[in-house]
Amino acid sequence: MSDRPRAAKETPLAIICGGGSLPLAVADAVTRRGRRVVMFPVRGFADPRDFADYPCHLIATGQFGRFRRLAVQEGCRDVVFIGVVLRPALRQIRLDWDTIRQLPRVFAMFRGGDNHLLSSLARIVEDLGFKLHGAHEVAPEILVPQGAIGRHAPGPRHEADIARGLAVLAAIGPFDVGQAVVVADSYVVAIEGAEGTDRMLERVAALRRDGRIPSAAGTGVLVKTPKRGQDRRFDLPSIGPQTVARAAEAGLAGIAVAGGATIIAEPQRVAAAADRVGLFVVGIAAAG
């Protein structure tokens, strides 16, 4: 982007990454923009073999010292955090010197919700001397646009479910809890908690199989927005072809996400997958 400072282009971008296809999509997008990237996959969440084309250093959760040393060696000053990194259990943390110095803060950050966890992490990274950026700032093409992706669009019945879903998400916004719900014919079927969107959709599929969702298959909408107060630099919600597949298995009519505030891995594949199964995927205006 023309208004991005030149300095940001001159040093390679450190990408701390978890699972899914997004990290590679971001790395490729940043590379296409002419900037080098260095990948830091987090052990247990991302597979270094996915990043064979890039310089790559495996790090463990909590290895702030190792990350700092390697990132400085590589000449990185800017950091992006992307991909699925589940809330690590404290026992998974590998302690190193920088982590031990941060220990009171590390413990504190595991109390409370994800927003709290992630903004604590952001502060630690910045205290180590780096600048944290949002993946959507370094690769804006990864954001869902406003409007329908693919051939299908929501009808009035779906719009009503979307409105109800947004109302539920607004109501639970203050509690730093999940950021997705499933609503089918006005019935709130599922609210996402710590399990994440994929498992929530599996649950909806099971409820559908058991006849516990009154409306017929092909009704219902997954509504997903950023949490209120969420640090968008590294925790925007994301969707991918997998989301479409799981929504289809759950018998939904479509997916509504916040346009301009949702990351989409492989948009063409998402559109193709949605068209194939007859789902709509729509970017909507959402306060977030």
Task: Output the CA–CA distances (angstroms, integers) from residue 199 to 76, 149, 210, in the order listed.
Answer: 36, 24, 17
Residues 17-76 that bind a second copy (CB under 8 A): none
Q: Smallest distance from the beta carbon of 165 to a second copy, in angstroms? A: 10
Query: Minimal CA–CA distance to 231: which of 257, 261, 259?
Result: 261
Q: Smallest distance from the beta carbon of 207 to a second copy, in angstroms? A: 5
Residue 176, interface with a second copy (CB under 8 A)? yes
Please count the other Cβ atoms lying within 10 Å of the Cβ belonging to residue 276.
14
Tokens encoding 286 = 């959402």
Q: Smallest distance from the beta carbon of 72 to a second copy, in angstroms? A: 30
Q: Where are the beta strands (DSSP E) in the chain?
A: 13-17, 37-41, 78-82, 131-133, 147-149, 180-184, 187-191, 221-224, 238-239, 254-258, 263-264, 280-284
Strands 280-284 and 37-41: unpaired
Residue 217, interface with a second copy (CB under 8 A)? no
Single out the residue of 110, 228, 259, 272 in contact with a second copy (rule: CB under 8 A).
110
Single out the residue of 20, 41, 65, 178 in contact with a second copy (rule: CB under 8 A).
178
CB nearer a second copy, residue 52 or residue 89: 89
Residue 76 and residue 130 in contact, taking contact as beta carbons nearer than 8 Å = yes
Single out the residue of 215, 249, 269, 277 in contact with a second copy (rule: CB under 8 A).
215
Size of the site for a second copy (CB under 8 A): 44
> Considering only 24-32, 136-144, 168-176, 265-273, which stretch makes contact with a second copy by CB under 8 A?
168-176
Residue 154, interface with a second copy (CB under 8 A)? no
Task: Output the CA–CA distances (angstroms, integers) from residue 78 to 30, 115, 140, in the order listed.
Answer: 12, 21, 16
Residue 90, interface with a second copy (CB under 8 A)? yes
Query: Minimal CA–CA distance to 84: which of 237, 281, 210, 200?
Result: 237
Residue 218, interface with a second copy (CB under 8 A)? no
Tokens encoding 74 = 């590589």
Q: Which residues of this chain interact with a second copy, rule CB under 8 A?
A: 86-92, 110-113, 117, 164, 167-168, 171-172, 174-178, 182, 185-195, 199, 203, 206-207, 210-215
